[in-house]
Amino acid sequence: MRTQLQATSRGGRAARALLSAGLVAALFGGALVAVRDSTTSAPAGLEPVAYSPPRYRMVQANIKASMGTARFKRDVREVVGTDPDFITYNEVNGRRSADLEPGRYRVWRKGGDPYRSATAVAWDNDKWAAASKGIHQISNKRGKAADQRLHWGIRYANWVTLENRATGRNVSVVAVHFAPKSKHYGDLVRPSARALNVLVKALARRGPVVVGGDLNVQYDGSRYPRDIFAEQHLVPTFDVTQQTPVTHGRDSTIDYVLARGIARFATGNQRAFGLESDHNALRVDFSPLPVTSTEGSSRVGFGPGVVVTDPGLSVAEEQSVLRTVLKSVNSAKRGQVVHLATRSLTNDRVVRALKRAKSRGVRVQVVTAERTTTDEMRSLQRVLGKDVDKASWAVPRARGYDRADLRATVLLISRTGATPAFAFSSSTQMSALAGTGKRSGYVSVSKASYDKLFRPFFSAVGRRV
């Protein structure tokens, strides 16, 4: 099953060096975060708790169906040579299963016809044992050109739930390949994403889920079904690393590794590397994250990433968004500035953290979208004041907040711990419910991102900067 989008240049070998996360590890509990490549050392003095073994490596590989057997085998050797724990294969209908599982690797895909066997999951059998396996239909649309052998609108995802032989923990791995857009059956990206969500939701009851596949949609394009994936907290690693590799042709990014329920994992060492195929393989490492305290530290180093949590995790992990806010505020030191915009500020822990920051000599500025002055706001104003021309203040500005188009929470800190220009935005307001339910947020540590949010923050209170 080839994709419609054809490569205009090999360019694959050059893609080996395209990506380097090069990012300092984040230290907030329950976060999916980008981390520094393992070949480089972290800055001296930072708390070394964000990225620790064991590491689980995932490779997504679309190996062109029309290639000869010799070239196909070279690609498999190239993929296996990266020592992955899990591999997701696309376009492997017509290939022998024995060729997909050399050495210590084992493979699962449903046999019987070319539609069911087109995707496959392989795993390192020395480290992982298959607990259960299955197949799930992603789309079922007939229609093809006269010279096509198969109906490209009929697609299946093969999946395996694996148990780590050392720890007993489960991870489910899904191999998927969405149909390319075609006049013969239409655009199946959104219905395929919804069908994938059904499978991911079911597998998530067993533990984390990682998905690898060619989705036949550009990552930064309008057809990418971000809203559908968000319903199941299915996050592409590109969101985390803030790096977008070329996986097909000259400038296409259509191969993905996505993850759900991995609030306890870091993501890093993302690489695209060339194959004989018209796709580059995508390699990503995952590693367990410890749950850290919310206490401040001058040695904390935050890195760019996305915070995603689900109910059902431990209390600490479910509170990842809240804990990120507390950790960063508590790590701000004398002379620094904390800017917090939140639609509602009724969370006692956040209010106390802001007051403590002011007592340490931190300048604290707060704006909410509340239409009345709450007890919490009055309490905060007694410490910070309410004159927005002063160094510290706290004010409600409902109309200004909406006019500035701020998210439910935006937190900017000039320097927190070892990290300058810390920016955090979330769809979660700092209310009493901030530590419950499904939560997500994005961390940035670039001056450009900080500055982008700086202006609307002051716009909300009627100040020009």
- Collect all residues with Cβ–Cβ distance below 8 Å to 298 and sequence separation of at least 6: 331, 333, 417, 418
Q: What is the pLDDT of residue 309?
A: 54
Which of 331, 305, 306, 320 has the alpha carbon at shortest distance from 415? Answer: 331
| Unique residue bearing structure tokens 């409902």 | 398
Among residues of the chain, what percentage have pLDDT more than 70?
Answer: 79
> What is the SS3 assignment for 61?
strand
* pLDDT above 60 (res 58): yes
Quickly count helices (H) and strands (E) in the chain.
11, 20
State the amino acid at position 250 in one-letter form.
Answer: R
146 phi-psi bin (left φ>0, alpha ψ -120 to 50, beta other): alpha
pLDDT at 165 over 80: yes
pLDDT digits (tens, 9 = 90+) for 354-380: 999 999 999 999 999 999 999 999 999
Tens of pLDDT, residues 229-250: 988 878 888 877 767 899 998 7
DSSP of 190-247: HHHHHHHHHHHHHHGGGS-EEEEEE-SS-TTSTTS-HHHHHHTT-EEHHHHH------
Helix (H, G, I), strand (E, B) or coil at 187: coil
Q: Which domains does the chain have, with CATH numbers?
A: 13-288 (3.60.10.10), 305-459 (3.30.870.10)
Q: Lowest-confidence range among 46-60, 268-282, 399-413, 434-448?
A: 46-60
In angstroms, the CA 201 to CA 223 distance is 22
**Beta-carbon count within 10 A of 436 CB:** 15
Task: Tell me how far apart the alpha carbons of residues 415 and 423 are, in angstroms, rounded to a whole number.
Answer: 10
pLDDT mean over 396-422? 93
Task: Give 412's pLDDT tier (boundaries 50, 70, 90).
Answer: very high
Q: Does residue 203 contact residue 174 with C-beta atoms inside 8 Å?
A: yes
3-state helix, strand and coil shares in percent for the chain, rounded to the nearest 5: 25, 30, 50
Token reading at 227: 């809203």
Residue 242, Cβ neighbours under 10 Å: how many? 18
Give the mean pLDDT of the chain.
82
Neighbours of 63 (CB within 10 A): 25
Confidence of residue 440 (pLDDT cuts 50, 70, 90): low
Q: Which residue has the tokens 């998927």?
A: 176
For residue 252, give the DSSP letter.
B
3-state secondary structure at position 308: strand
The per-residue pLDDT for range 77-121, each reduced to its tens digit, is 999 999 999 999 999 998 999 999 899 999 999 988 999 999 999
Q: Residues near 186 by Cβ (< 8 Å), separated by ≥ 6?
A: 141, 153
Tokens 């935005």 correspond to 425
